[in-house]
Amino acid sequence: MDTFAPSHYAVSATKPGTAVTDAEVPKCQKYNDFIDNYCFQPVAIETAGAYDKSAVPFLRCLAKQLGDLSRDHRERDEQI
Element (H, E) at 66: helix 55-70
Task: Quote the DSSP letter at residue 32.
Answer: G
Beta bridge partners of 51: 45
Q: What is the dihedral of CA 51, 57, 63, 65, to 10 degrees?
A: -160
**How confident is the model over 43-57, as pLDDT tens digits?**
888 777 778 888 888
Q: What is the pTM of this model?
A: 0.60
Res 77: pLDDT: 56
Report the C-alpha gap between 24 and 33 in whole angstroms: 16
Is residue 8 a contact partner of residue 19, using CB atoms and an 8 Å limit? yes
